[in-house]
Amino acid sequence: MNLLKNINYPEDLRKLKKNQLQQLSEELREELIDVVSETGGHLGAGLGVIELTVALHYVFNTPNDKLVWDVSHQCYPHKILTGRKNEIRSLRKGNGLSGFTKRTESEYDPFGAAHSSTSISSTLGMAVAKKLSNDKNDVVAVIGDGAMSAGMAYEAMNNAGALKSKLIVILNDNDMSIAKPVGAMSKYLSKLLSGKLYFSFRETIKMIISSFSKRFSKKAAKAEDILRGIVQGGTLFSELGFYYIGPVDGHDIDHLVQILENVKYSSHQGPILIHAITKKGKGYKPAEDSGDKYHGVSKFNVSTGIQSSSKSSTPSYTKVFAETLIKHAEKDTKIIGITGAMPSGTGLNLFEKKFPNRMFDVGIAEQHAVTFAAGLTTEGYKPFAAIYSTFLQRAYDQVVHDVALQSLPVRFAIDRAGLVGADGPTHAGSFDITYLATLPNFIVMAASDESELVKMINTSVTINDRPSAFRYPRGNGIGMKLPGINETLEIGKGRIIKNGKKIALINFGARLQECIKASEELQKKGIDITIIDARFAKPLDEKLILETAVSHEAVITIEEGSIGGFGSHVMQLLSDRGIFDNGLKFRSMTLPDLFIDQDTPYNMYEKAGLNCKSIINKIEETLSSKIVFAKNKNI
């Protein structure tokens, strides 16, 4: 009998007998593999938490009990069990389910996530709120060992230990062998340490020894530490004020259920950490055998595990960056590569193969990555911090205080700049132009194609007196011949792509090809436009922009970034120089002031108003527009 087909919500799951949970887990694992083979997305992480997901929803009364998944790339099994089974094949598609937890999608997603290490902070907030409201429901955070490399997780744990609110944290450790620590003795002790008897015994002992000398108290505490040491680890968590249980086998569902029940119904007041050992990719051999455990996959053949790949004759921007940096590093021993747990995503895994001693993966710790890079520059090295635009947001204070304020020549390689398709708004690189170009001492570049990217990397190597950043999109180049590593750009100088009349389109970044397409379409209508590739948002090519503004009826800027970026800087320049006094028409095309949900790139650019059609409409509207003064004095 198939159990999963009758499970639509956790309340259905709780009607099962405990001896049926293993079968349900196996069915859920098969369903997950089948789903992701059709949709693509995150697979290995979800496979590793199948039993944990079933156990959590079986023991805890979700959604009244709150369950938060850190990062949430492991949330697909959770979604299948929480009312979204029939929609699960819409994952990561337009108008479909998000690939991450999302508050607006389900009451079973109490906190949206896609960036790492936020679960303990958010659940601590929930736990304190429940305590203040006299709400007895539980709050649970599931965080991976990788996410525990971020300082925010420890800041939250330190605060949780001090507040002593009841909070259950499950450390999903999938980077450790389970052979030795999870044996019969470990199982017995973890059950003992989580049981009501031990909790009450421990509190009783505390009461007794409080009446005796401090010396006796210390000895008793040491005895408990020895007992806990048999289980393995826990010292750090205990010092932070957490009651530590583990390690436990995260795939032994009977064991998990018993531990979770013990914790749920314990009288312990304060934070508890359960250390669960899991295997990423569990139950699907191709994933288990893969180096990345099929963390993120495209559509694949279930029987073979072979992933489908989009055929392209051009290299990805990421690969162009990595191979160009390698060429420079072969000649310059001062060049260093730095990434935050994204070596393959940024291409620095290729750099590491050539220069293992000069590439540093600092873990999910972007703040540290930036200041670490700043420290390297003070000793004459040339660090390239390769960080996705969306993740660099996490280190903004370090970018401002530790880099820009001191004018240190850290080079920022900003991958995934702009819209990113199926990963949606959490991973879109929407804001880096705005948040970097506003900083004094910064050079901000954007590549319009892969050839320009190489020139910008070359240029950044030569910049030794201030920080620089170059942004480039996700995906493949357009087929441009790549220049050599000696071809650099003059700082703050743009280029004219095409000379026209009346109206000028100033592009910053990867929308250049759409500008060219729009120009070709408008040429058929007798509208001849000037196209400029700005290259730099900071410093601006003031001479080129001003000359263009005074010789054209209208100027339009376009960028794949938020309001407040390149266009705003151009407008400030024109305003300061009084150009608008002469009646210049000015328009700025940016990403709209909203978060754009996941979809195909084509649909996302159409919604953003940054495709060829939108450019044509903007140019025609600008040329035909007249100045209209508002009659309403309140406007």
Known catalytic residues? 280, 366, 394
State the residue for tokens 């156990």: 55
Distance CA 90, CA 109 (A): 17
Distance CA 147, CA 158 (A): 16
DSSP classification of residue 87:
G
Using CA atoms of 222, 228, 230, 235 in order, give the dihedral in degrees to the nearest 10: -80
Q: The dihedral of CA 319, 325, 326, 328: what is its sign?
A: positive
Distance CA 561, CA 556 (A): 15
State the residue for tokens 């703050």: 492
State the residue for tokens 């288990």: 288
- Neighbour order of strands in the sheet with 503-508: 495-498, 529-533, 503-508, 554-559, 585-589
> Residue 557: how many CA atoms within 13 Å on its side-chain side?
29
Tokens linked to 511:
């929308």
At CA 72, angle to CA 67 and CA 76, rounded to 5? 90
Beta bridge partners of 245: 274
Q: How many helices (H) and strands (E) does the chain have?
A: 26, 19
Cβ 48 vs Cβ 279: under 8 Å: yes
Distance CA 120, CA 99 (A): 21
Beta bridge partners of 361: 339
> Residue 451: how many CA atoms within 13 Å on its side-chain side?
7
Distance CA 416, CA 607 (A): 19
Distance CA 9, CA 43 (A): 22
Phi first, then psi: what are they for 556, rounded to 5°?
A: -125, 130
Tokens linked to 445:
């570049």
For residue 432, the one-letter residue type is D
Pairing of strands 411-415, 495-498: unpaired
For residue 368, the one-letter residue type is H
